[in-house]
Amino acid sequence: MADCEICGKSSIVLNEIIIDSAHFSVCSACRNLGPVVQKAAIASRPKIAPSTPYIISPEPEFDITIEYPNLIRNSRVKHNMSQKDLAKMLAEKESVIHRLETGKLNPSLSLARKMERFLGIKLVEKEE
């Protein structure tokens, strides 16, 4: 399984699309956000030998930077996008983008990751 680069959902089948000259591997729900470049590819699972013990290591903790409202707003403006445009590209409501930019809503880790990929900014930090 692999994750959709737009919404973050895990999916077995991914499509490659183009949004503003950037290539994204997306699930079927996000496929309509841009022209499809490559038809559905099945994500392969990592092969683990049966005799190899699978050890689950603890997930590192992550924090969203406190500067996220300014980072999101400045990057959106730099890309000449309105809040409505950004919301549409991220498959979110315009009110969510407004609340993020005003600091009234803390983004989830998956939304922060999606915004990082799309806007080219760094919102997620490893917790120390």
pLDDT value at residue 98: 94
Domains of the chain plus CATH, in order, are: 2-42 (no CATH), 62-126 (1.10.260.40)
For residue 55, the number of C-alpha atoms closer than 13 Å in the C-beta half-sphere is 3
pLDDT value at residue 84: 94
Mean pLDDT computed over 73-101: 93
Question: Which of 76, 126, 124 has its CA nearest to residue 96?
Answer: 76
| Residue whose structure tokens are 């300014």 | 70
Q: pLDDT tens across 1-56, in order?
A: 678 888 888 877 788 888 877 878 888 888 888 888 766 555 555 555 555 565 66
Q: Are 27 and 14 in contact (CB under 8 A)?
A: yes
Q: 123 pLDDT exceeds 70?
A: yes
Residue 112's φ and ψ, nearest 5 degrees, are -60, -45
pLDDT band at 63 (very low <50, low <70, confident <90, very high): confident
SS3 103: coil
Count CB-CB contacts under 10 A for residue 36: 13
